[in-house]
Amino acid sequence: MTLQKKPAWVALGVSSLLAGAAFAGSHGAALSGDLKIISDMSNPAPRAVMEGMVADFQEMHPDLDIELTIVDREAWKTQIRNALGANPPDVVNWYAANRMLPYVNAGLFADVSDLWAEPEFEALASTKGAMTIDGAQWGVPYTYYQWGVYYRKDIFDELGLSEPTTWDEEKANCEAILASGRKCYTIGTKFLWTAGGWFDYLNSRTHGYDFHMALARGEVPWTDDRVRQTFANWRELIDMGAFIDDHQTYSWQEALPFMINGEAAAYLMGNFAVAAFRDGGLTDDQLDFYQFPKIADVDYAEDAPTDTFHIASGAQNMDAAKEFLRFVVSVDNQTKINGGDALGQLPVNANAEIGDDKFLQEGFDMLSNNASGGIMQFFDRDFPAEMASVGMEGLQEFMVFPDNLDDILARLEDARARIYE
């Protein structure tokens, strides 16, 4: 898809353009030449967002010729390396944290630390760690979403329970829920990744973000006593019978009815589950959300998978590429693309507006103001793909057969030695 100068179909709000221009226009002379962008925002709603962003930027820079190519998201995962090789585009979509690492190490992503040194980027502070490798920043985020504990507020009210803030309070609540004949948590681990969410939170709450990420980089043995302590905390819940039975036979969607029907009280999940809860008949008066509680005296790190834009190191129009990244993270654009019927996720700019959805409001507040430990990208993004696959198999096995822990950790350690060599 190519957008020529001043496309006739573009209809834009003047105030939006002026606000965007005020952010982006102060950083240099008028832009010209070609700007080539490859995006994996291929589903209908994200595609409309991507096309709208490019149209807005085009209107602000009429002397710039923008070529936008949208590719299938799954296909892009295998195409990106070749695309960044000979004759690369200027800007591409990808993911934050360790998912950037192969392309940073290969010299395929440009260092954009100069952008992050600009005053406007202070509003992106909660995501800076996820964009940083070796002390430099290698792209910008454009959206993320929170994980946390979604729970049946009406069940908590019935049992006289409050949102827990400590691990002891979490376990005490669970004991009361079990005594009422319900399970504490629903979960479907058939496709493994949901168990990764539990490990992310238990490990980062027990030892902190830096330790969790060191494990993800292969710098810590899986047989380390600190890793064992994470599993010991997890086992406290398993031994209580906190999780629904036979969870390994359910997908995450198939586990939803246990909470919708009141057989389980909570679900550790991403914010994308809210729509499914609502579709299942839960009202916002019945459904609520809390931040995973504190275990040890470490700062809160949160799972918030972050989608990103990067400049190819071989970009032919570096000035235009940087200006586009500035535009992407601007207050006005962040408000526009993340709310309502657009992406329906969280803006990465702390000064953006988020609308009146209570779960987005709570997530935005949590990630902007109470995630000082860092932003995790989720187990299957923070760990290399092969390690993530082997690791999540082990996590699911532990949830079903916790007595297998020694064998599980030995297998994961063997995989670590082979994968990170």
DSSP 272: T
Nearest to 130 by CA among 161, 87, 92, 100: 100
* Helix, coil or strand: residue 375: strand
- Burial, 32: exposed, middle or buried (Cβ in 10 Å; 0-12, 13-18, 19+)? middle
Query: Is there a contact between 57 and 66 (Cβ–Cβ < 8 Å)?
Result: yes
Residues in the chain predicted with pLDDT less than 70, given as ranges, are 1-29, 340-341
- Please name the residue ranges forming H helices in 66-124: 73-83, 101-105, 113-116
- The 287-290 sheet, strands edge to edge: 183-185, 264-270, 147-152, 287-290
pLDDT reported for residue 9: 25
Q: Give the C-alpha separation, 104 to 309, whole Å.
A: 13
pLDDT reported for residue 421: 84
pLDDT tens track for 14-73: 334 334 444 444 455 689 999 999 999 998 989 999 999 999 999 999 999 999 999 998
Q: What is the CA radius of gyration of the chain?
A: 22
Q: How many helices (H) and strands (E) does the chain have?
A: 19, 14
Nearest to 303 by CA among 274, 339, 271, 328: 271
pTM, 2 dp: 0.82
Q: Which amino acid is at 68?
A: L
pLDDT tens track for 92-109: 999 998 889 899 999 999
pLDDT reported for residue 45: 86
Residue 310 pairs in a beta bridge with: 92
- Burial, 82: exposed, middle or buried (Cβ in 10 Å; 0-12, 13-18, 19+)? exposed
pLDDT reported for residue 98: 82
pLDDT reported for residue 371: 86
Kindly list the distances between the CA atom of residue 235 and the CA atoms of 9, 10, 45, 186, 201, in Å, as whole numbers in the listed order.
Answer: 58, 56, 41, 16, 14
Q: Which amino acid is at 353?
A: E
pLDDT reported for residue 28: 56
Q: At 374, list the tokens.
A: 């860092």
DSSP 155: H
pLDDT reported for residue 74: 85
**Beta-strand runs (E) in 227-319:** 264-270, 287-290, 301-303, 306-311
With tokens 């027990």, the residue in question is 206
Give kind and range of the element (H or E) at residue 70.
strand 64-70
CA trace torsion 180, 181, 187, 189 (10° rounding): 150
pLDDT reported for residue 23: 47
Domains in the chain (CATH in brackets) are 2-144+306-352 (3.40.190.10), 147-303+376-419 (3.40.190.10)
330-356 CB burial, b ≥16 within 10 A, e <16: bbbbbbbbbbeebbbbbbbbbebebee
